[in-house]
Each structure stands twice: as C-alpha cells, then as structure tokens.
Amino acid sequence: MGLTRQQTIMVAVLLAGAFLVVLNQTLLTPALPTIMGNLQVSATTVQWLTSGYALVEAVIIPLNAYLIGRFSTRKLFIGGMILFAAGTALCALAPSFIFLLLGRVLQACATGVVMPMVFALILLIFPRENRGVGMGLVGLIISFAPAMGPSVSGLLVDSIGWRALFVLVVCLAVCVVIAAVAALKKFEGFERTTFDVLSVVLIAVGMVCLLYGISISTSSTTIAVPLVLIVVGAAVIALFFRRQLKLDNPILDVSVLKHREFLIITIIILFLEGTLIGGSVLFPLYIQNALLASATVSGLIMLPGALLGAFFGLLSGKLFDKYGVRSIALTGAIVLLAGGISYVLLGDATSLIVACIAYTIVCLGIQALITPLNTWGLNALPNTDLPHGNAIISTIEQIGSSLGTAFVVSLTALSSLYVSADAPAAEQSYVGCHLAFMGMLGLIVIIALIIFIFVCDKKTTTVVTADSVPGIDRPWVVSDIMNSLPDMLPATATIRDAVAIMQKTETSGLPLVDDAQHVVGFLSDGDILKYLARHESSYEEGSGYAIMFETNSFQDRIKNAYELEAMKLATKSVITVDADERAEDAFRVLSEKKIKKAPVVREGILVGTLSRRNIMKALDIMENASQDVSA
C-alpha cells in the first residue's frame, strides 16, 4: 500500500476505532427485549436507545467541519474515543433506563465525531495514488461491522447478559484509546469555519419534538399533545432550513435540494433508512417476544440479510453503471415490496426459517436501492456541491433512522386496542408487531410509488453535426463547429494515460468523463506542470476535507505523477458550453474565461469539444465558402 510501518499502525488504530463505533450501532438491537424486561420499560420507550442515538448523531455530524478546523485531528479522535468509552461504561453500570439512555447519547456524540475523522485521517495518511485502497478499507468496515453486531449481541445476551455488551465494548474502546495515544500523529491544515449556535438549537429542538410526538402518538391519552409536538417540530425544522439558506456558511447547505433528482433521493432515503433501521429494531421484538426464540436466534436470523444486503449494494452499483437507474430501481422496489408483503403475512407460529427469508428479502431490496439512487441523485449535482450533498445524505440517513424507528415501534403500542390485557404476552406482542409490519409496508409502498413516478434515466438525443459550417443565411450554433469526435479520458485514468493521448494528438487538454459520459473534470498540460512545480500541494476530496502539506523531491514528483489518477489533478469545476447554444455566446465564454478549450454537452452528456482551433478553422471554411458563392 506504500505506507511506512508507523503509518500502517496508525491506519490499523483508525480502522479499529471505526469498526467499534459502527459495530456499536447495531449491537444493541437483539438485546432490546431483554432490556425491556430488566428495566421495566415499554417498546416505545426502549426504542429511544436506537432512535435517540441516530438523532444525536444527526445533530453532531454537520458540526465536523467546525470541530476539525478548531482542534487537532489527534485530539479529536482520542477525545472522541474517550467520550465513547465513558458513555459505554455508563451504559454498563446504568441503574435505570435514564442512565442507559444518557450513556447512549454520549456514545452517539462520540460516533458523530469519530467516523468523519477516520475518513479525513485515512485520506491524509495514504499516498494519493493509494487512497482508493484506504477508502475501500473504510467501506469494508462500514459494511461488515453492522452485519456482525446482532449475532455477537445475541450470543452475549443469552450467555452472560445485556450489560456484557457494554463491558466488552468499553474494554475494546480503552484499548483503542491507548493505541491512539501511542501511535496517532498530529495532522494540521484544516480551514477554520464558523459555528452557528442557533442552527444547532433549531435542528435539535425540532427533531426532538417531532420524534417524541411520533413516539407517543399511539400511547398518549389525548391526541392533542403528540399532534402539537409534531407540528411544532416540523415548524422549527422549517425555520432551520430557512436559516441555512440565509447564512453565508451554513452547517448544512440545503440549497442543493433545488436539484430535482437530489431532492427525490433524499425523500426516498429518508423512508429507506426508516424501514431498514425500524425493521432491525422491530424484528428482535417479534422473534423473541412473539415467537419466543432466544436473542441468539434473533441475531442469527438477521445475519444473512445484513451480509447479502452488503453484497447486493456493491452489485447494484455496478449494474447502475451499465444499465442506468430506472431498471435497477424498479427491480429493487419490486423486491422490497415482496419483502414488505411477506412481513405482513408473518404469523404468531411462523417458522424461524420463513421469518429469516422475509427479513433477508427486505434487506436485499433496500440495499439494492440505496447505492444506485445515491449515485443518481449525486450525479445531478455540480462537482462543487458534492461535499454538501454528501453531508445532506449523511444527516438524512440518521434522521430517517430516528423517525422510522419511532414510527414503527410506536405502532406496537396499538396492540392494547385489539387484545385484552389478560391475553398472553406473546399474543399481545404479536399483534403489536403485526400492526408495525403493516406500517412498514405502508412506508415501502410510498417508496415504490416515488420510484415508479419520479426516478428515470435522462433521455439522450442523437447528435447530428455538419461536416462543414452552415451557409451565411443561418446563424451558427456550437454543434456546427465543434469537434464531434473529441479525445477524452475515463475518470479512472491515470496521468500516464493522459500524457500519452496529449502527446499523440498534440492537444493541451482533455475532458474526463464517468461511465454515463457526464463531464466530471478537465485536465490540462498546465495542471500537470503545476503539480510538478510545487513543493506543497493541497486539494479537496469529495468529503470536503483539505489534504495538505505533502513535500517531496522534484524527481519523486515526476515518478509519482505518472501513477496518479487524472482526477486528482484535474479541474473539478469544469466550464462547459451547450451544443445547441449560439456560437457567439460560446465564443464569449472562451474569451471572458480565458480558456482555450471547453467540453460541449447536451443534457449533461459530453458530445464534443470546442477549441480556438475549431473556431479558426470554421472561420476559414466560411470565408472560402463565401468566396465560392460570390464567384
């Protein structure tokens, strides 16, 4: 991987911390039924251990840009892991539910700090040419840890008790802290940003009111209280959005929601995350309280869905590149609908194998949708807005987890309307879970309808270009004079590939395109020269964190340049011209921006390039044509 021994140790420590905090997110779900009995709380109360966790994390994540600019990354990671260990210890020793919930809040605060920190530090530690490997390792951790959580949890709960979960985690957290103190070095160079207290207060108050209103909506003696809370929460969140649009440096740049495709996927992901996390909380209640199986069994039943879901998420991303979004999204929606219907058909004597299959189908449907929909929505954003889009998605995922869990679990309280208090506990639990499964099916139907109506591939039209410029009786458009067979590079190409094409074609710049032929960058010979000439380098990755202060010799830069991905040096904010716009407007762009060549697009797809050489050639042909007409 091109790392020194010290750097390898640092990466191992960071990945251990990431694994632990991600594992902790799903570790508790099979233990919830046991905690309910031990601490004498209802399902609508115990769900706060999951929904409250996601809510706090949603509030903390947007603050990372401020935190990473104010404190050193070493202090933040170590401090975050110490806070995580303290919160876990409080959970292990909690004498009552309120202390357990407070411990989970501390854990969530730490997770909201640590996870973005791991992404930033991995990017800093790995050489540019190997950063894909580093991010791949983080992605593997994020996919694998949640799959292990329920199974490990079930075994510990049945063999030792639910407090053993937190004892194990706190011991591992202390080990990570010690290793971080010994191995983690200090990184600097992040830009300071402002901290808007009112924005944090608005989103926190709005989410708590909305979440609490949904939680008590089915158990409150009067409908007025939850209704008021929900209305107040929605109004405060609206004020939060309004404030973000007015701030120069918002904690969440919600203006990216003006892009239609991105707005659609944020709505879908809100429901998808609610269905996924709500189901992961509800299913152990059904398996343990209605089917009377053990926590170990409930954890093992959820394992195939988590593992196969992660695989399908990777597969769906590859299929999206090949077939586009609509066919993949419709297929995923159908699978998800089948899973939702199978949820409703689960009975009070259903075999565990059938229950496992139903849960797995839902997981497959959700994971088959998340990756292609995310990619489709983010592709609609300009490159400069990608960091803001990623921040919005991360926050929406946590909000969806909170609201979905509260909604689904609150429906279990409706069992009191259909089953007498004297009925067996298993019967009461089954009726509540059945009502919640019906609620989940409702969410799934909404997802499917949105996908069916709004998610579609962009239509492209066939480009028709003339072999020569038009006659003098018709205005020029860009497509008349552009190079309709442009030299280009895939976004995954290296500088070696770029240099070879530039030398062969004697061109000074190349557009970089993704698999759908969208322009994602432009690499010029000047970009390569700047890299070779400078002693310090900095640029921004998609996460929005600046990578700074790499120093090496000129000979090393020449050697390393060839192995770099072209996108590392390319201009991300590409100036393009439309194929159907008037030629004089395009000429003005090239003149005012002082550029020699611009990619030509139609509906976002690269269809050619327009250079000053093309313009001069067209002028010459036009002059000759005019002389022929005169003759």
What digits encode the pLDDT tens for the residues 115-152?
Answer: 777 766 776 676 655 555 665 566 566 666 666 777 78
Residue (of 358, 376, 341, 359) closest to 269 by Cα position: 376
Burial of residue 60, with CB atoms counted within 10 A of its CB: 0-12 exposed, 13-18 middle, 19 or more buried = buried
For the cut 80, the answer to whether the pLDDT of residue 362 exceeds it is: yes
* Alpha helical stretches, state H, 324-351: 325-345
Fold of 255-457: Growth Hormone; Chain: A; (1.20.1250)
For the cut 80, the answer to whether the pLDDT of residue 81 exceeds it is: yes
Domain segments of the chain: what residues? Answer: 1-194, 196-250, 255-457, 478-630
Q: Which two tokens stand for residue 45?
A: 């109360």
Structurally, at CATH architecture level, domain 478-630 sits in Roll (3.10)
From residue 408, alpha-carbon distances to 274, 345, 402 in Å are 8, 17, 10
Question: How do 538-540 and 546-548 pair as beta strands?
Answer: antiparallel
- Highest mean predicted confidence (pLDDT) among 30-39, 440-449, 553-562, 595-604: 440-449
For the cut 60, the answer to whether the pLDDT of residue 304 exceeds it is: yes
Question: 3-class SS at 576?
Answer: coil
How far apart are the C-alpha atoms of 255 and 373, rounded to whole Å? 19
pLDDT value, residue 441: 95
How far apart are the C-alpha atoms of 310 and 303, rounded to whole Å? 11
Residue (of 305, 322, 299) closest to 367 by Cα position: 305
pLDDT value, residue 101: 92
For 44, residues 6+ apart whose C-beta sits below 8 A from its C-beta are 215, 216, 218, 219, 409, 410, 412, 413
For 559, residues 6+ apart whose C-beta sits below 8 A from its C-beta are none
Cα 622 from chain centroid? 51
Structurally, at CATH architecture level, domain 1-194 sits in Up-down Bundle (1.20)
pLDDT value, residue 462: 39
Report pLDDT digits (tens) over 143-164. Answer: 666 667 777 888 888 888 889 8
- Highest mean predicted confidence (pLDDT) among 24-28, 273-277, 456-460: 273-277
Asked if domains 1-194 and 255-457 share a fold, the reply is yes
* Alpha helical stretches, state H, 126-249: 131-159, 163-183, 197-216, 224-246
Among 30-34, 381-385, 429-433, whose mean pLDDT is lowest? 381-385
Between 419 and 9, the more confident residue is: 9
For the cut 60, the answer to whether the pLDDT of residue 26 exceeds it is: yes
pLDDT value, residue 543: 34
For the cut 70, the answer to whether the pLDDT of residue 542 exceeds it is: no
Among 45-49, 125-129, 224-228, 345-349, whose mean pLDDT is lowest? 125-129
Cα 194 from chain centroid? 24
How far apart are the C-alpha atoms of 398 and 276, rounded to whole Å? 11
- Highest mean predicted confidence (pLDDT) among 208-222, 350-364, 467-481: 350-364
Q: What does the pLDDT average to over 330-340?
A: 95
- Say if residues 334 and 428 touch (Cβ distance below 8 Å): no
Among 6-10, 37-41, 115-119, 510-514, whose mean pLDDT is lowest? 115-119
Between 369 and 530, the more confident residue is: 369
What radius of gyration, in Å, describes the C-alpha atoms of the chain?
Answer: 28
